[in-house]
Structure 1
Amino acid sequence: MKPLVKKILLGTLAVPCLALAGFVGTAQLRWDRTFEAPYPEIRASSDSAVVARGSYLVNGPAHCSYCHTTTDQWPALDSGAVLPLTGGNRFVLPVGTFITPNLTPDVETGIGRRSDAELARMLRHSVRADGRAALPFMPFQNMSDDDLTAIISYLRSREPVRHEVPNHDLTMMGKGLMAFLIEPQGPEGTPPQTSPAQAPTIARGKYLANSVANCAGCHTKRSPMDGSAIGEPFAGGMVMEDEKNPDKIFVTPNLTPDAATGRIAHWTEEQFVARFRVPRKAFEGSHMPWMAFRRMSDDDVRAIYRYLNSLSPVANATGPSYQDKPAD
């Protein structure tokens, strides 16, 4: 090979190698960057009514118990047990492995080491106590002040359980996203002081589906890389792995009232409510937190149904909820 040609080839190869090295080095330096966000004026209450409301939200529509327990505890949840939210549930994604934290008030391993303001900032502004951005797994940014207070009050009222949970383990892809793309998600405008009254209204359903129960989060197609929405809201199509069968996937159905592709477009309100009272999942391993949603009041379930039926229809055929995994 002629020296000039060799130099050109080496130079051509060096450019992407240097770029990759620069990306990796910068990602390693920036992935744990910190952010500023206000601390909401939220303080835990010992009032029994506030704590009871927090219990309803945590164990029902907000389904905190679904993520902040481990899968071997779910049969107990399905039977109606109220368990300590000791965390440890693992979510394995291309960007890393995420482990849910201990939400009991233990002062060494749980939220006992955090102030009310730090917890409220995490839930509303997606900024952790150390200032780092939290990935957008929870939809509580627009939750009302009263409901946020109720949730923190309930968590504070529980017995502390010492349970050390490992830190998240990010892949290089995950560190790259954290370094360059992921930023905290805050509320849209000023969150309300109070939530819509607990009645079967469209307003109540909209609040629950978007700001508490996270129907929009799972029933909207999202990027497997960073969780950003890439589909129409509530039109389904989000793909989730079956942890017990790598050859299968779950695909969330279209919840809009499209006559041809909407899963519940032809359901009556009574059928919708009845499905939430069935003590089982349609498919073993489904990510739908039926055990938590079964605890919702009839009025709240009806409110969600009425809100979903008020949406504009979106034609999006998602296929069966449980499918064969496509070949790579």
Structure 2
Amino acid sequence: MAVDVKEYEGDMSNNRHNELTHVTQRLRRVLSKEVDVSVGHQQFLSDILLEAKELLNVSRVSVWLFDDAAKPSKLINYANTDWDGLITGPLPELAVQDYPNYFRAIINGETISANDAMTDARTSEFTDGYLIPQQICALLDAAIFQNGLAIGVVCCEGRFEPRNWLQWEVVATELIADCCSRRLLVHELWQMQQRLTEMAFQDVLTGLNNRRYVMDYAKSEMSRHQRADRPLSLLMIDLDRFKLINDKYGHDGGDEVLKQFAQCCNSLVRTEDCVCRLGGEEFIILLPETEVAQAMSVAQRLKEKAAALEVQYEGDIIHFTVSIGVASVNLNMPFSQSLKAADQAVYQAKAAGRNQIKLAL
């Protein structure tokens, strides 16, 4: 019986179309799921890789990212279908100089469909150290793009025998790489948002929390302490005669004093305490679960430690003292009222000769 070539080619085309449609639908469904991108790459990419492993019927799928997309020197393995859970050890790496042909292809954005990985010029470099020990015979690797640059690769591995990769499988792998690119972009945007949030609530010079942060934090802590009927205390600290330090050593010298005093505060307080630079040479320490008598003890230790601090700057040693106001936070009033009371106590400490501690009345 004669075979109609055109009919046969049409059937093959329809089959490829159906396969691609099926793959696209499955990948779109996976990609639409909400995932937590604040976790590691293995966690937020694993569902895509597992889907790829099943779709392509391969032994393993992994994601490798360049250390620097603009000037790559190595690929780092961030996600792998062989891994389970959070990865704590060092991640596997591949250096450019060891695999020049492979890296050249990926950097150029090529999709590598190596039917026989041991003879393909782009993958045969892996023979002794990677392919033979793990019995990998076929590789289908697609570059992951962002902003027009290859930032990494999705690697699909077939074990035990060479394999003729079908066209729909090549296209599917490229779609998988695009899915990974989208997830990685969401992760990058999340990281950027975190950095912006930190900048919004962080003092750039000292690295401490800023006024905006402490006002929000105090509100939530007051609510918590009020429900539990627990004490909350506050220290307000002002560096004595700070203008004279700026006049003598310049603002760079003054900045060094502020940074070292911030470190002094952090070294003294507990993890749960909140240290903040209010502005200029003024600092606040919020002390949860702390009676005012205990807060006075903290203030005394801080005053002594500040007086003993020697700030080295351009061959000179800068000494300074601090005046501290201590207040018990009134949980039934706005935080600004307690802040004002502590501020008044600081003025009293200044009036008493500086290097003093005063309790707000």
Give the TM-score normalised by structure 1: 0.22
Larger Rg: 2
Name the TM-score, length of structure 2 as normaliser. 0.20
Q: Which has the higher helix share?
A: 2
Larger RCO, structures 1/2 (Cα 8 Å, 6+ apart): 1
